[in-house]
């Protein structure tokens, strides 16, 4: 039972990071009907920026994370601004554009930081917490707390602020939103910026758990994308649940099947999607083409 609980908590910690990535995917999709395939690369850039300011500049971990979120937020705005002329005109080119941005970001990471990657020490030096023989890494609890706080802030923003309400209106009907005076371009830019910020938060948090490298964006992007699909693509609650689910499945698969864990994780994901193609929350897709 102790091994089960420790594996479950470790899976929840990784799952919280996947959930942050999934929320970024879903937020952009809800607003623009676009899958941002550069999202995984933005996660990787966020991880590198946070680790650089933490390890090289010697900023406190929280400040390094804030810098990473700010820089990647600007990257999100740039991506949206470049794609804006194509909105509602050429959907395929928009998708290709996000793929191109992802390739450019990965190449820039290799040019700036090299291809070897780096290990990031835990910013929480405390020893694991012992609860009746159950040893829980303190950093796992920190990750869960930060991810929960970020999720709560996002939900508050979407449901309780005018900007959030405008984004919700654009997600439901962008033509009607335009008719009542909502600036759709600004709403889309906001969605990209927040999505990129969530990606940076995920990248910064995952640094002490995984090895930071240019290739990490592909893995985290795929698993975050899978989490978004599992929960119901476009659903924020679904992204949270789907990301946590992928993390838990991944953790148990790694413990039982080791080198075949990725295969097992995606086989289970495939079976679930075959049973429920629209995801757990059954979110319907949006098409702006």
Q: Which two tokens stand for residue 8?
A: 């479950």
Mean pLDDT of 50-74: 95
**Domain presence at residue 109:** yes
Q: Which two tokens stand for residue 112?
A: 């700036």
What pLDDT, on a 0 to 100 scale, did the predictor assign at position 283? 54
**Domain presence at residue 164:** no
Angstrom distance (rounded) from CA 14 to CA 12: 6
Angstrom distance (rounded) from CA 240 to CA 227: 8
Q: Which two tokens stand for residue 143?
A: 């990750």
Residue 30 pLDDT > 90, yes or no? Answer: no
- Mapping DSSP to helix (H, G, I), strand (E, B) and coil, where does residue 212 land? strand
CB count in 10 Å sphere of residue 132? 5
Burial of 95 (0-12, 13-18, 19+ CB in 10 A): middle
CB count in 10 Å sphere of residue 20? 32
Furthest CA-CA distance within the chain: 61
**Domain presence at residue 82:** yes
Angstrom distance (rounded) from CA 103 to CA 36: 13
Least confidently predicted of 1-10, 21-30, 111-120: 1-10
Residue 59 pLDDT > 90, yes or no? Answer: yes
Residue 217 pLDDT > 60, yes or no? Answer: yes
Residue 227 pLDDT > 60, yes or no? Answer: yes
Report how many domains make up the chain: 1
**Domain presence at residue 229:** yes
pLDDT band with cut points at 50, 70 and 90 for residue 229: very high
Burial of 258 (0-12, 13-18, 19+ CB in 10 A): exposed
Report yes or no: 64 and 54 within 8 Å, Cβ to Cβ. yes
What pLDDT, on a 0 to 100 scale, did the predictor assign at position 87? 72
The residue segments making up the domain with residue 255 are 2-123+178-275
Residue 232 pLDDT > 60, yes or no? Answer: yes
Mean pLDDT of 110-139: 85
**Domain presence at residue 266:** yes
**Domain presence at residue 161:** no
**Domain presence at residue 118:** yes
**Domain presence at residue 41:** yes
What pLDDT, on a 0 to 100 scale, did the predictor assign at position 88? 66
What pLDDT, on a 0 to 100 scale, did the predictor assign at position 285? 47
What pLDDT, on a 0 to 100 scale, did the predictor assign at position 153? 95
Q: Which two tokens stand for residue 281?
A: 């929350």
Tell me the pTM.
0.91
């Amino acid at each position: 039972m102790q091994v089960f609980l420790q594996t479950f908590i470790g899976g929840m910690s990784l799952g919280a990071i996947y959930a942050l990535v999934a929320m970024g995917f879903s937020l952009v999709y809800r607003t623009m009907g676009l899958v941002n395939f550069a999202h995984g690369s933005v996660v990787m850039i966020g991880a590198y920026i946070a680790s650089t300011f933490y390890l090289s500049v010697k900023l406190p971990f929280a400040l390094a994370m804030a810098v990473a979120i700010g820089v990647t937020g600007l990257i999100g705005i740039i991506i949206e601004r470049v794609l804006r002329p194509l909105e509602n005109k050429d959907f395929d080119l928009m998708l290709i554009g996000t793929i191109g941005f992802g390739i450019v970001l990965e190449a820039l990471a290799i040019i700036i930081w090299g291809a070897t990657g780096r290990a990031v020490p835990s910013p929480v030096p405390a020893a694991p917490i012992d609860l009746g023989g159950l040893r829980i890494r303190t950093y796992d609890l920190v990750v869960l707390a930060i991810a929960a706080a970020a999720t709560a802030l996002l939900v508050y923003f979407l449901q309780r602020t005018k900007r959030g309400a405008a984004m919700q209106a654009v997600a439901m009907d962008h033509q009607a939103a335009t008719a009542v005076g909502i600036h759709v371009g600004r709403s889309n830019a906001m969605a990209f910026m927040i999505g990129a910020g969530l990606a940076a938060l995920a990248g910064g948090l995952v640094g002490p758990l995984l090895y930071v490298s240019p290739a990490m964006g592909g893995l985290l992007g795929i698993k975050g994308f899978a989490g978004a699909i599992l929960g119901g693509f476009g659903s924020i609650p679904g992204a949270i649940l789907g990301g946590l689910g992928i993390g838990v499945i991944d953790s148990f698969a790694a413990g039982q099947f080791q080198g075949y864990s990725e295969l097992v994780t995606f086989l289970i994901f495939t079976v679930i999607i075959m049973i429920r193609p629209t995801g757990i929350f059954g979110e319907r897709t949006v098409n702006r083409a």
